[in-house]
Structures are given as C-alpha cells and as structure tokens.
Amino acid sequence: MDIIKIFLLILGSFVIFGISGMISGWLDRKITARLQWRIGPPWWQNFADFLKLTGKETVIPDRANEFLFFLSPAIGIISVVITGAVLLSGIFYKPARWDLFIFIYLMMIPSITIFLAGAASGNVLASVGAGRELRLLLSYELPFILALLVPVVKYHSAQISEIMNYQMMYKINVGYISGLIAFIVGLLAFQGKLGYVPFDVSEAETEIAGGTFVEYSGVLLAMFKLTKWILLSVGVTFFVIYFLGGFHNLITGILKYLLVLLLIVLIKNTNPRLRTDQILRFSWGWLTILGFFALILSLAGF
Amino acid sequence: MKKVIVPIGPYHSLFEEPEYFALYCDGERVVDIEWMAGYNHRGIEKLSESKHWDQVTFLIERICGICSTSHPIAYCNAVEDLAKIEIPERAKYIRSIVGELERLHSHLLWVGLAGHFLGYNTVFMWAWKYREPILDIMEMVTGNRNHYAMMKIGGVRRDIENEDIDIIKKILDELKGKLEMLTGAVLDDPVLAARLKGVGVLTKQDIKDYGAVGPVARASGVDIDVRRDNPHAAYNLVEWKVITCQDGDVFSKAVVRLLECFESIKIIEQSLVRLKKIKGDIAIEVRYIPSGEGIGRYEAPRGECYHYVRSDGTSRPVRHKIRAPSYVNIPTFKASCIGETIADVTIILAGIDPCYCCTERAITVYDADTRKKLFDGKDLMKLSQEKTRKIKKQLGFKEK
C-alpha cells in the first residue's frame, strides 16, 4: 500500500510541478518580455520547447564522461520531483517530523548535478561553469539554511505543514520583522539556486557561452530545462507555504504564488550579473549577517 | 604552469561577428590573451581602386553598418583635401547632423550591448528602444535606417527640409528625457558600478603606447577628438565640448559615451537652428580630381577614422588606405585584460566597442628575393589542417 502511495505522490508531484513549472517559466519569460518592450512568447511556448528538444539529436562529446553525462540530468530531475513530493506529502499524507531538513537536503542536489554535468562534459567552458557553480553553491547555501531556520526557532517545529498551520492560527511569517528579513534573504539565496541573474554565473551565455550546459543537447538538455522549471515552481510554492501562510484559500494562495514569482522576475531583470567573488562576498557578508540577525530577532520573539 | 585556453570566438554569443580571442587562463584568471581578426576580409581597399571617385563613397559605407557615415565623411575629407575643395556651408551643417545622429545611435547601441554582456538584458532592450527614434530620423532625413548614402565629394546628396527640422527637434527633445533617465539608471546603479569600476584600467601611458583612439582614449584622460583638433564640417561653428574621464576603466568608458550623447544632441540642435537660416546649395560640382595625395580624418563613434587617397589624375584612386578605429583599439587588451577574471574580460572586450568590420585585414607573404607569393589558398588550407591535427594531438583527442 505504502509503495503505491509513494508512487502516486511522486507522480502527482511530477505532473503538478511539471505543469506549474512550465507555466511559471512562461510567466517569467512573458513578464521579462513586457518589461523589455517585447511581446513575449505564447503560454504554451515552454511545452513546445520541451517537446522540440526531446525530438532533437543528443550529441555526446568525445571527451565526456558518458556515465556522468547521462546520469546528472536524470538525478537532477528525480531530486526536484522528490522535493516536490516532500512538499505535497504535507497536504495529502502524514509527513515526516523533520521534513524541512529533507527539503533543504534535496534542494541542494540540482546544483550538484549541474556541477557534475559541467565537469563531465569535457569542455573548457563547461568546466569553468562547473567551478563557478560549486562556488555559487557554497556561497548561497549558508544564508538559505539560516533563513529557513528562523521559523523553526519561532514555532519550535521543523515540519513544513505544521509551520503552515501555525501561520494560519496566528500570523503569517512575513508579518514578523525576523520573518520578513528571512524571507528576503531566502529569496535572494533561492535566486542563486535557480541560476537567475544576478547569480547566473555558471551559465553566463555572454561569458562562457552557456557554461555547464554548453555540450548538452536534445533530451538531456530538455531534462535540465524541466529540472529548472520544476525547481522554480517548487521553490516558489515552498516560499508561499513557509513564509506567506500557504494555500488554504486557493485564490489568495495563487496570488501569493504570483507575487513571489514576480519578485524573482523583477530581481532578475533589474540587475547585471555579478562576479563569483562578488557573489561570495555578498552572500557570506550581507546575506549571512542578515540571516543571523533574523535568527537572533526570532529568538528574542520579534 | 599548465594554462587552459578559454576560447572566445570565432563564433561566440558575446560577438555579433566572427573574431577570435584566446584567453590563456589560470583558473578564472586570464594570464595572457591573443587575438585574431580577418575572418571576414572583403578587400575594400583594393575594390575601391577599381571604382571611380564618386562610387567609392558608397563602397566604403559598406565597411561597417554602424559607422556607415563616418567612413564616407573621412573619405570625402580626404578627396576634398586632395582637390582643395571648400564645401558649401549648408552641406557642412548637414554633414555634422548626420554624423552626430550616427554617434548617438552607435553609443546607444553600445550601452545596450554592454548591458547584454553583463546579463542586464533590460538595459539592452531599453537602450535599443531609445535608439529606434534616431533611426527613424535617419530614415526621414536620408531615406535609410543604415547606409545613408548622404555624403558626396563636394557636399551632401540630400537636403534637410525645413518641415523636417521641426519634427527632428521634437523627437530629440523627447529623446533627451529618456536618455537622462537611462544615464541615471546606468551610472547610479550600485551593482553595475561594482561590476564596472576599476575593471580593465588603461592608463594614459597605455593609451599612448598602443595608440588607442576615441572614447577609449578619452576615458583614460587623453584629450583627443578629431572633431575639435582637425576642424571640418560644422564642428568649429557650434558650441560643444570634448568629454574626458580620468579613471580609464570600463565605467568611465560608459560615462564618456553616455555624456557624449548629450553633446551630440547639442551639436545637432544648434546645427538645425542655423540650417533654417542658411540658404544655398548643398553641394558644389566636382568635375576633376587632380593628381596628388589627400588625408581625411573623422571622429567616428569608436575613434579616429583615417583615410588616405592618392590620385594620378584619372577617374579612380590609385591607392586608398583606411585605418579604422577598432583596429588600433583592440591591441590595448594586452594591457587591460591580463590579470583580470574571465567574467571581467568579457566586458573589457566589449568596453572598447569593438567593431569587427573595422579590423578585417589580409596579409600576403612574399619571398624577399624572388618577389613570389609564398602562400596561396591551398597552402594555407594545408597549414591550417596540420595545425588542427597538432592541437588535437596535444589535447589528447582520439584520431578518427
């Protein structure tokens, strides 16, 4: 019975977050386009892109490590789907007591697969990208965890659904000063996880021509694209649940989702790309300090 | 030390045209740089020897789509210098107007591209959106958005009507506000400043050593501008000033270019006011180009554009030498890129506003004794294939 449940959960996660991810990705593209006086693609553009990529030839470079080259997109997509399943388990089943930490752990895996993909490609540009991705991972992970710990301290629980319920009973997380700071810090760190400007150093098409993905094509690239879309959707959903009170009312829930998405897109479109050392300084400096500050504030009860 | 070559080019998303930069990297740090041009050689100098004097103006417009009026102005200056022609006053103002409109659109184009190279696509699109009205003016005045075909030996080919002047003024007034907004947004952005300040610094000495020109030189505090130093067209008849910065980094290059836009608008506005009052011809008839030599210079958006022509009294130039600005600006990368990271090098490469049409050259090797051509197409092909094989072997590719 349990296995069927788990299977349904994962399938559900794939379908829900896959579709909402593609739509979110389209919203991102559309809003970006409107900000830049362009018209932007129609709503089914990402589905079409995905479909087209799956029909393309997959080229494997001579010098690539084929095993890792194939494995990393697969692990990437599996990890984000399971991440989504962890979020969904809070709604449909009795979730694990410490599922927040499972979530944090799983959210780290896509970045690692991107690093592996770059390292396995056997291309100079890809290996530069891989090095950058690793440095990026090191820089945003600490503030991200700090930001997520703030509600844990406040509600004495590390269960995502419980934190959501507490917010319904009392006050949403961003209503507190500490929660607001943690939300901002977490969102900026998440921007890095997504690889969006200003933290898109590992892809940086105008510097290293796509970086880690430079050798990828066809189905494998499609899998990476899907990974990014699902990650976007899962991340935004998590922020809504964790900081903004969740989806108890579906309409306000969707509005909250759009608000967080809009914030991410706006940050993306009003900044140039930072250098890796600047990202490191910014994350370990400002973001980490703010994260600790929020943690102390939440300990003091603000 | 094992060096890794990070290739930028020949085809790379950073560039719109083929050009090859080999960055020798130690980790992310660039320790050496090599560049190679000439992927798109068209033999313009040779071609122009086969055209008669008036046709050449149209040919050299095709050197570059962006500075497509700078080359004709420089060439006309050269021929007029050779034939000792003084052009009518009205033509002078029209030349200045077209030249400055081109500078405006070229600088805005650069701002957009620089934004794009930094991943700041909003600036890219906004700058290009603001560039659009200038191209509209161009279309209205000259009939074309690019390749205006306005210049002619002895004057200009088209007149600017009085009704058009009012429309141009209106568009420019609207543009000024937008430009101020864009300048503010770019120069006050703390993140952009963090990316651009202190990056790719060229000292005054570097500029003199490499002979760099244009905004690149002016950003390093070298006060040169052909428009002022070698007055022609209407540049000595209107009020304007040369913008210089002292720091020499990419940020000051952006400052110089953005502020130059306002100077260009100033020049155009004054010229338009005068143009309304001046009556007369727009060109004088030139029937004969005597034998001799002539030099023409013009401050193209990227720097000094230099043309030399020699005539033997026939209807064609016997020699036409062009020195385009990017060709002298690109070697400064040796001074500005080494020691920087890859991320910075890309914006330094973009910082001089390289125009690859400017850099296309071909070299022919002759034997010193027999004066015989040493390498023909087949030899070069063979050499290239051998080298590819050698590099592949070095890198450990499997032979197929």
Return the structure tokens found at A282: 């910014």
Taking CB atoms and an 8 Å limit, are A206 and B119 in contact across chains? yes
| Amino acid found at B380 | L
Closest Cα partner for A222 from A41, A44, A46? A46
B344·A32 Cβ contact <8 A: no
The two structure tokens encoding residue A64: 């690539």
CATH 3.20.10.10 for domain B44-359: no
**Across the interface, do A207 and B346 touch by the CB < 8 Å criterion?**
yes
pLDDT the model gives residue A63: 81
Distance from CA of A64 to the nearest CA of B (A): 11
Put simply, the answer to whether A275 touches B129 (Cβ < 8 Å) is no
Interface residue ranges in chain A relative to chain B, Cβ cutoff 8 Å: 32, 35-38, 62-63, 124-125, 128, 131-132, 197-198, 200-201, 204-210, 269-278
Distances (CA, A) of B211 to A52, A149, A200, B174, B326: 50, 58, 36, 38, 11
pLDDT of B1 over the 60 cut: no
Residues of B in contact with A210 (CB under 8 A): 13
- Report the alpha-carbon distance of residue B62 to residue B326 in Å, rounded: 16
Under the banding of pLDDT at 50, 70 and 90, the label for residue A26 is very high
For residues B266-282, average pLDDT: 86
CA closest to A31 among chain B residues: B122
The pLDDT assigned to A229 comes to 92
Q: What is the pLDDT of residue B400?
A: 56
* CA geometry: angle B249, B250, B253, nearest 5 deg: 95
Q: CB–CB of A273 and B119 under 8 A?
A: yes
Examine the pLDDT at B214 and tell me if it is beyond 80.
yes
Residues 6+ apart with CB under 8 A from A286: none
Tell me the nearest-neighbour CA distance from B286 into chain A, angstroms: 48
Cis peptide before B10 (omega within 30 of 0): yes
Query: Are B67 and B102 a contacting pair, CB within 8 Å?
Result: yes
Residues of chain B with pLDDT > 90, as a percent, come to 0
- Specify the number of domains making up chain A: 1
Of the partner residues A62, A124, A204, the one whose CB lies closest to the CB of residue B5: A124
What is the chain B residue with the closest CA to A198? Answer: B119
> What pLDDT does B187 receive?
85
Q: Which residues of A touch B191 (CB under 8 A)?
A: 198, 271-272, 274
- Candidates B41, B44, B35; CA nearest to B10 is B35
Interface residues of chain B, partner chain A, Cβ below 8 Å: 4-7, 12-14, 25, 27-28, 115-126, 129, 189, 191-192, 194-195, 341-344, 346, 396-398
Could you tell me the CA-to-CA distances from A90 to A43, A144, A165, A231, B170 in Å, in that order? 30, 21, 11, 18, 61
Q: Give chain B positions within 8 Å (CB) of A62.
A: 397-398
Alpha helices in chain A (DSSP H): 2-35, 45-54, 66-92, 99-120, 124-155, 160-169, 177-194, 205-208, 218-243, 250-269, 276-282, 288-300
A208:B125 CB<8 A: no
Of the partner residues A206, A271, A276, the one whose CB lies closest to the CB of residue B346: A206
Nearest to B301 by CA among B108, B153, B131, B141: B108
* Residue of A193, A80, A102 whose CA lies nearest to A144: A193
Q: CB under 8 Å to A212, separation ≥6 — which residues?
A: A114, A115, A117, A118, A121, A126, A129, A130, A133, A202, A203
pLDDT recorded at residue B363: 67
What residues in A contact B122, CB-CB < 8 Å?
35-36, 269-270
- Give pLDDT, residue B395: 76
Mean pLDDT of B105-119: 87
Give me the pLDDT at residue B341, please: 84
Extents of the domains making up chain B = 44-359, 368-400
Cα four-point dihedral sign A102, A105, A110, A116: negative
Indicate the pLDDT class of residue A230, thresholds 50, 70 and 90.
Answer: very high
* Tens-place pLDDT, residues A154-180: 878 888 877 777 777 777 777 778 888
The beta-carbon neighbor of B343 closest among A32, A124, A207 is A207
Contact between chains at A124 and B397 (C-beta distance less than 8 A): no
> Per residue in B142-201, pLDDT tens?
888 888 888 888 888 888 888 888 888 888 888 888 888 888 888 888 888 888 888 888
**Whether complex ipTM tops 0.90:** no
Chain A closest CA to B68's CA: distance in Å? 26
Q: What is the mean pLDDT of residues B270-290?
A: 85
Tell me the residue type at B59.
Answer: L
On chain B, the residues whose CB falls within 8 A of the CB of A209 are 12-14
Nearest-neighbour CA in chain A from B362: distance (Å): 28
Identify the helix (H) or strand (E) that includes residue B8: strand B4-8
The Cα of A200 is separated from the nearest Cα of chain B by a number of Å equal to 8
Per-residue pLDDT averaged across B288-311, rounded?
88
Give yes or no for residue B2 having a pLDDT over 70: no
Kindly report, residue by residue over B136-156, the tens digit of the pLDDT. Answer: 888 888 888 888 888 888 888
pLDDT in tens, A61-78: 888 888 888 889 999 999
Q: What is the mean pLDDT of residues B273-299?
A: 86
Q: Residue range B283-301: average pLDDT? A: 87
Residue type, A293: F
Question: B117, A36: Cβ pair inside 8 Å?
Answer: no
Nearest to B344 among A62, A206, A275 (CB): A275
Cβ atoms of A172 and A248 within 8 Å: the answer is: no
Closest residue by Cα to residue B155 from B292, B29, B280, B298: B280
Average pLDDT rounded to a whole number, residues A228-238: 91
For residue B44, name the pLDDT band (cuts at 50, 70, 90). Answer: confident
- CA-nearest residue to B185 within chain A is A270
Q: How far apart are CA B45 and CA B361, in angstroms?
A: 10
- What are the start-end ranges of the H helices in chain B? 44-48, 53-61, 70-83, 89-117, 121-142, 162-187, 190-196, 204-210, 214-219, 226-229, 250-277, 325-329, 333-336, 342-351, 377-395
Give the separation between CA B178 and CA B111, rounded to whole angstroms: 14
Nearest to B116 among A201, A206, A278 (CB): A206
- 3-state SS record for A278-296: HHHHHHHHHHHHHHHHHHH
Q: List the single residue in A with minimal CA-CA distance to B350.
A: A206
In contact, B39 and B362? CB cutoff 8 Å: no
**Domain of A274?**
2-300
Altogether, the residues listed in chain B come to a count of 400
List the single best residue of B29, B117, B128 to mutate versus A (max A Cβ within 10 A).
B117
Determine the average pLDDT of the residues in B295-318: 88
Q: Which of A124, A197, A276 sits opposite B119 (nearest CB)?
A: A197
Q: What is the pLDDT of residue A164?
A: 79
What is the per-residue pLDDT for A262?
A: 92
- Statement: residue B376 has pLDDT above 80: no
Asked whether the beta carbons of residue A204 and residue B119 sit closer than 8 angstroms, the reply is: yes
Read off φ and ψ for residue B251, nearest 5 degrees. -60, -45
Q: Report chain B residues whose CB lies below 8 A from the CB of A64.
A: none
State the Rg of chain A over Cα: 19
At B357 the pLDDT is: 66
Task: Please answer yes or no on whether B343 and A276 come within 8 Å at the CB atom.
Answer: yes
Cα A206 to the center of its chain, rounded Å: 23
CA B82 to chain A, closest CA, distance in angstroms equals 45
Integer Cα distance of B60 and A139 in angstroms: 52
A31-40: long-range contacts, CB 8 A cutoff, minimum separation 24: A31/A262, A31/A265, A31/A269, A32/A265, A32/A268, A32/A269, A32/B121, A35/A265, A35/A269, A35/B122, A36/A269, A36/B121, A36/B122, A36/B124, A36/B125, A36/B126, A37/B125, A37/B126, A37/B129, A38/B125
